[in-house]
Amino acid sequence: MSTPYPFTALVGQDDLRLALLLNAVSPAVGGVLVRGEKGTAKSTAVRALSALLPEVDVVPGCRFSCAPGAPDPSCPDGPHEAGGGVARAARMVELPVGASEDRLVGALDIERALAEGVKAFEPGLLADAHRGILYVDEVNLLHDHLVDLLLDAAAMGASYVEREGVSVRHAARFLLVGTMNPEEGELRPQLLDRFGLTVEVSASREPDQRVEVVRRRLAYDDDPDGFAARWGDEEGAVRGRIVAARALLPRVRLGDGALRQIAATCAAFEVDGMRADIVMARTATALAAWAGREDVLAEDVRQAALLALPHRRRRNPFDAPGLDEDKLDETLEEFGENDGDDEPDPDGGGPDGGGGQPPQDSGPEQSGDGAAATPEAADDGQPGAGGAGEQQAVRAGEPFRTKVLSVPGLGEGAAGRRSRARTEHGRTTGARRPRGALTKLHLAATVQAAAPHQRARGRSGRGLVVRRDDLRQATREGREGNLVLFVVDASGSMAARQRMSAVKGAVLSLLLDAYQRRDKVGLVTFRGSGAEVALPPTSSVDAAAVRLESLPTGGRTPIAAGLLRAHEVLRVERLRDPARRPLVIVVTDGRATGGVEPVAQAGRAARLFAAEGQASVVVDCESGPVRLGLAGQLAGELGGTAVTLDELRADSIAGLVKDVRESYGSARRVA
């Protein structure tokens, strides 16, 4: 096993180190979600922490790591008698993004069950991680059903397996750490809330600090063992401090004053539910224990808020996480005036001191690169400085719930919530011979395959003689995520302020829908003399929302250029991810202008999509009393469908269905 990079050798990243250490002191805090750009030592820090955790005593031979002093009475390998155990290092178990549900929670060994008649349970990664660390890199790319299982186990401290005739419960208490790059997609808000703490990490902009990072990394790569040995004393000191803080934790007093500050802070920032209050209380207690104190102070409450609340105050998926520190200080001061015990500790600060340093995030108005997430909508209807006829960007209108747009047919793409697909999870639709290891047994089909051969196999008795060739894999139908490629008309015909605001609001609504359905998204815009890829296909729909907000308008309407650029994007993406089916959404009024024979060129470009059977929808943005119907003609050339902005709303569709049903009912009554 390679020597891990020393935790104490990490440069900077105070918030990340502090959050990890607090969870090492008190796993009840609920884990850490680490958000940040690539190359910011997220994975390095997590792997380094495992070397600092104290050894654990386990029952010899127990696959579920039961503690010898208090063995789990429900342990599948039990019952165990209380007594001496063996010491081993705390494990760090990594959950791969592509892991199956069976690998995570464990499963019945189907082949042994059928061939030998025994219920043999094979433990999963949750059992391996008990009393250690469970690390999920790129947790935002993990399938939703795995995230649900993972976070449920983390919240309950146990894993329950009820499947294929197996009913197993075993302890699963671990330090959950997830890392993610927000550019590759966000976690759903309800899943964000299940992580106790979150920290934002970014590379330092200080040259001296960056030099030190490179110097230490090169020294480690040249001689990992020697480098680790040089940090041995510091590592031992932190390891001892974790042990001392764990011992002190039960004696830490969380006074009524601190509890009032916690409750007032959560109420002031309008977080949903009570989980935030509980996490803040546990975090503040762990901070006090880490600082060697038996009382929770106001500084502990403040630091706990900065770690536990930013990801819980987001009101929609496109809000940047953050916390208004001035508002936080005012709330703490208002509700801490009569609490004389909550005076700041002059010795606190930093991950090796008291409450730690506050996160460096400057607030919800900043995006990941330090620039404003939403530009000022200063459009006055006059041409801007970006070029002849160009209008300044306008804000998007209010988003709304949209009609469900899906790709026809049956796909085999990544799990999601948009189009029908063959998936590992969903309703059973048939059976087939297994390709590789059997994961989902179709019992009826297996029995049917084995039944005709029982006499030839010399069956004697009630048991069924089953061979490997008889086993049948269940085929299931669920939903997949798609690549939703937006092709947005940003020409002068769309530039009227109210009209473009409504168009952006519609696209933003479709982006929200794509976020909820776990799609990848891309954005192509066309105006003037050509088209550009404003956002290559990505899982980060919030990045698409930012690009949409800053989208300028003006010039002619080169529809053909936009369609051809979209066709090229799909060609490249098909090579990268052939299983993911695309859905093209063209947002335009259909008025092709500019160049030679613009309407004919647009028709020829559209027929490329029709020839390939590409699923497409045209959102008709034409307005006014006189409508030419050009967007509908474009939809016909594409081989797709057209919807107006009004028809895109889910409530409009629901109303239409209701009217049809009422008319149908009236007709039946008359008949």
pLDDT at 554: 82
**pLDDT for 323-354, tens place per residue?**
778 888 888 888 875 444 444 444 444 444 44
Once rounded to an integer, what is the mean pLDDT over residues 289-296? 94
312: annotated active-site residue: no
Q: Cis before residue 321, ω within 30 degrees of 0?
A: no
- Reported confidence tier of residue 310, pLDDT bands at 50, 70, 90: confident
What's the DSSP call for residue 87?
E
Average pLDDT, the chain: 80
138 pLDDT higher than 50:
yes
Q: What is the pLDDT of residues 164-217, one digit of tens each?
A: 667 788 888 888 898 888 777 677 666 777 788 999 888 888 899 899 999 999
Catalytic, out of 91, 103, 260, 275: 275
Which of these, 284, 283, 281, 286, lies nearest to 250 by C-alpha position? 286
Q: Given 3.40.47.10, 3.40.50.410, 3.10.129.10, 3.30.70.20, which CATH number is that of 483-648?
A: 3.40.50.410
**Intervals of CATH 3.40.50.410 along the chain:** 483-648
DSSP string, 548-567: HHT--EES---HHHHHHHHH
Task: Confirm if 367 and 320 have CB atoms less than 8 A apart.
Answer: yes
In which band, very low, low, confident or very high, does the pLDDT at 1 lie, cut at 50, 70 and 90? low
What tens digit of pLDDT does each residue of 72-122 get?
A: 888 888 788 877 788 888 888 998 877 877 788 887 666 565 555 556 678
Looking at the chain, the domain(s) classified CATH 1.10.8.80 span: 248-313
Q: What's domain 248-313's architecture? A: Orthogonal Bundle (1.10)
Q: Tell me the H-state helices in 203-254.
A: 207-222, 224-230, 232-248
* Residues of each domain in the chain carrying CATH 3.40.50.300: 7-77+86-202
Helix (H, G, I), strand (E, B) or coil at 301: helix
Q: 403-414, pLDDT tens digit by residue?
A: 888 899 888 888
- In this structure, whether the domain defined by 7-77+86-202 belongs to CATH 3.40.50.720 is answered with no
User: Strand pairing of 641-644 and 616-620?
Assistant: parallel
Which tens digits make up the pLDDT trace of 524-563? Answer: 999 888 899 988 998 877 788 888 888 888 888 899 999 9
Q: For 34-53, what is the mean pLDDT? A: 85
Judged by average pLDDT, the poorest of 423-432, 502-511, 562-571 is 423-432
pLDDT for position 498: 67
Residue whose C-alpha is closest to residue 582's, from 505, 638, 534: 638
Out of 87-91, 375-379, 426-430, 461-465, pick the least confident: 375-379
Q: What share of the chain has pLDDT > 70, as a percent? A: 82
- Residue in 136, 141, 131, 132 with CA at minimum distance from that of residue 42: 136
**Distance in angstroms (rounded) separating the CA atoms of residues 76 and 462:** 28
